[in-house]
Structure 1
């Protein structure tokens, strides 16, 4: 009877964590389409237009370790509830930015980022622990990623329809998406409040305070922190700058192809559809294939795809389907083959987050909660990587060449999977 109750409790907890995983993507991925709006609404450069991503991901640097400490003190459920309240405040401030200005939007994005960091700190270790760690833990994280990608797809399709003509887009156009996100947060607050979550036992703070070791004593964890920071270039930069490139005017300082934002929003959504499919496959095989083998394979393929994307001539195009939002019908457009190659990176990025987290925290035992907070802190690297590629674009005025940033990021992840992820500190007690 006891085992049956435990299994039922674990199942409910897993469903709750997967639901949170989806919400993280919905709010986080609002930032990239919003950059198209901000660029027009406030007349800023490509680098500054990504201010939403800087605020959102930059918040992880401030909140990463405190989020881990909150889990130690209050547990996973209370930390999730607090995160949702913070997220509601952040969304309301972003909504007000249309009439109050650029800086107000940055503040709202930053507060939302605090929420995303807290939720990520809850979701990833909980799914890993509920799965018992190892391959099964990795499998649950990948399944959570399927729902994460599905929410991202919805955001890009929705925002593509709302933006319409990128050259005239205003913050007010995004209000329906912000209200949807707000409703999701309120709904989640109620669901999580009434969901009974079996909390894993946390080590006493006094015991950890006197411990001469910490998660930072493990080399593979520190290298994993760097890997997750750099991984931001592989997941976020392609859809962000595909959207910017294809919608940018042909005579702009950073020239693009001046394509319809609705159609291009569909393309960005396809990137996350590829991620969704990849995570679904990863979830199915995650229990049989090691995270090391999985990450090494996809990072190598990502390098090849990005290299092709950079080298293939822009004039070489293929027909690709999109959506005509006025008639809700399928329409076809011409996109560079190189852009399609970079879109395929979505398959590769799909399993990287869960795999890197699994590799970085494997064998940490009692240090896992603090490690998760420190790990989330490095998501601030997403903002850094987006900023680096934006800076390369503003310096070279060449969107396609800027994807060298993504290629180099994939190369480091390949190194980490094969060599950097090995635990060379097995002498440290973790019980």
Structure 2
């Protein structure tokens, strides 16, 4: 009986790992796609990041409903619905490459917004609902299968490693497909990647349909809503952790997203790469996600012995140091990093040294999600599922904060926008040092 249970748990864990990879694949399409729209709108970084914003804005609306879905229909059906929604979101983004390029909708300052851009944003918003539901399924499930505590964090980090691998490949593929971005580059140039993504969703839907997944929170029959005297908001460390998740996702997306725009910008304001800037930017952004893979694999090995708190404190300090070095290093100081050329394929490219230190931050951000989530739900008991929905709402930070960063970069320059990242990292350091302590242990959670 125990052997059968262990086999069932193993299948469930593998399934959750695969879903973790899908989350990153869909999410990481937005930033490199943004370089296309940025150049169509005369280099407006803020408009280029709007697809990413719409992707994460969906979390604000879907976070709590996704948590409720776990209770009403279970993990498996929630995941299947997410797959279907993701397919239609990608299909909508593909449609933006076919219609609306000649139809003006409204003016925004000096820019005339076209219908195809609106359709693309709608597709990104729909995809956001998909990844929100998947995140709601994956994180508490892996924490549960690991038994909570350091072991639960260990599984989340292992799943996050596959998430990072998928995130590594996505901007790389987009960069290879579009090469040098010009005002004539369009979504049709990345249509093959959209078709592949839709095919993966169909394949995943079929696989999950046949996989048995434990349903610990599923309530059958008529559910009578329980009235509790407390909620996740009653726990100080959870409230501060919710803020931490909001900030962390902004950091994770903002660092490589802005770096991609910086390297793709051939003007004096950008890195000054005259050829294949988008391809080089995509390849180097891929290194950031690859280093997140390395960091998560390392964390999955040590998390059984090194606490989430110690890991969070350490990587916050190191990331602050990396960002400071990147800000103060002149862009004339260069280093060779793996890049891509449309003529010569993969080769070493000369880029500002700042890019190296920014991608090294991937080693630090890699373990932050699992650490914050693990610390914030520690000791919540029956309030854990409800807290998971709240955390998913706060992932909207991955849309809002990078958008603010792009607004800063438009007015003050790319590197100066990273002062926002430093401020956010300082908060995570505070959370690891002080904010994560549960001071509400008197609240019953059974």
Interval of TM-score (by shorter of Structure 1 and Structure 2): over 0.9
Q: 1:401 to 1:201 in 2, by over 3 A?
A: closer
Q: Look up the match of 1:355.
A: 371
Q: 1:325 to 1:362 in 2, by over 3 A?
A: farther
Q: Look up the match of 2:140.
A: 125
Tell me the C-alpha RMSD between the 2 structures.
1.5
Is 2:255 aligned against 1:238? yes
Is 2:74 aligned against 1:71? no
Secondary structure class of the residue paired with 1:166: coil
Q: Deviations over 1:160-213 (max 9, x none)?
A: 101111124211111111111111111111111110011114579967531111
Q: Look up the match of 2:423.
A: 408
Alpha-carbon contact 2:263-2:270 (below 8 Å) kept:
no
Alpha-carbon contact 2:271-2:331 (below 8 Å) kept:
no
Counterpart Cα distance in 2 of 1:337 and 1:249:
16
Is 2:415 aligned against 1:424? no
After superposing the two structures, state which structure 1 stretch, 219-228 or 162-171, moved more: 162-171
Q: Look up the match of 2:400.
A: 384
Counterpart Cα distance in 2 of 1:321 and 1:79:
39
Structure with bigger helix share is 1
Give 1:126-205 correspondences, 5 Å limit: 126-167=141-182, 168-202=184-218
Correspondent of 1:268 among 282, 285, 288: 285
Alpha-carbon contact 1:42-1:102 (below 8 Å) kept:
no
Secondary structure class of the residue paired with 2:96: helix
Under a length normalisation based on structure 2, what TM-score does the superposition of the two structures give? Answer: 0.93
After superposing the two structures, state which structure 1 stretch, 334-343 or 12-21, moved more: 334-343
After superposing the two structures, state which structure 1 stretch, 203-212 or 231-240, moved more: 203-212
Counterpart Cα distance in 2 of 1:92 and 1:122:
23
Under a length normalisation based on structure 1, what TM-score does the superposition of the two structures give? Answer: 0.96
Q: Look up the match of 2:59.
A: 60
Query: C-alpha displacement at 1:370, in angstroms?
Result: 1.2
Is 2:264 aligned against 1:247? yes
Q: Deviations over 1:278-334 (max 9, x none)?
A: 011011111111100001100110001001100111111112222345454x42221
Query: C-alpha displacement at 1:344, in angstroms?
Result: 0.5
Counterpart Cα distance in 2 of 1:257 and 1:68:
46
Counterpart Cα distance in 1 of 2:430 and 2:122:
36
Secondary structure class of the residue paired with 1:11: helix
Query: C-alpha displacement at 1:41, in angstroms?
Result: 3.0
Counterpart Cα distance in 2 of 1:61 and 1:304:
32
Q: 1:327 to 1:353 in 2, by over 3 A?
A: same
Correspondent of 1:365 among 362, 381, 397: 381
Counterpart Cα distance in 1 of 2:219 and 2:314:
36
Q: 1:32 to 1:107 in 2, by over 3 A?
A: same
Alpha-carbon contact 2:261-2:281 (below 8 Å) kept:
no
After superposing the two structures, state which structure 1 stretch, 318-327 or 406-415, moved more: 318-327
Give the paired residue count: 426
Q: Deviations over 1:43-90 (max 9, x none)?
A: 461111111111100100000000001111111111111111111111
Query: C-alpha displacement at 1:369, in angstroms?
Result: 1.1
Secondary structure class of the residue paired with 1:236: helix
Query: C-alpha displacement at 1:272, in angstroms?
Result: 0.7
Q: Look up the match of 1:113.
A: 128
Counterpart Cα distance in 2 of 1:97 and 1:352:
35
Correspondent of 1:102 among 105, 117, 126: 117
Counterpart Cα distance in 2 of 1:132 and 1:346:
27
Alpha-carbon contact 2:264-2:280 (below 8 Å) kept:
no
Is 2:215 aligned against 1:216? no
Counterpart Cα distance in 2 of 1:313 and 1:130:
48
Query: C-alpha displacement at 1:40, in angstroms?
Result: 2.1
Counterpart Cα distance in 1 of 2:437 and 2:293:
28
Counterpart Cα distance in 2 of 1:367 and 1:21:
23
Alpha-carbon contact 2:164-2:293 (below 8 Å) kept:
yes
Correspondent of 1:277 among 294, 305, 312: 294
Q: Look up the match of 2:314.
A: 297
Is 2:225 aligned against 1:226? no
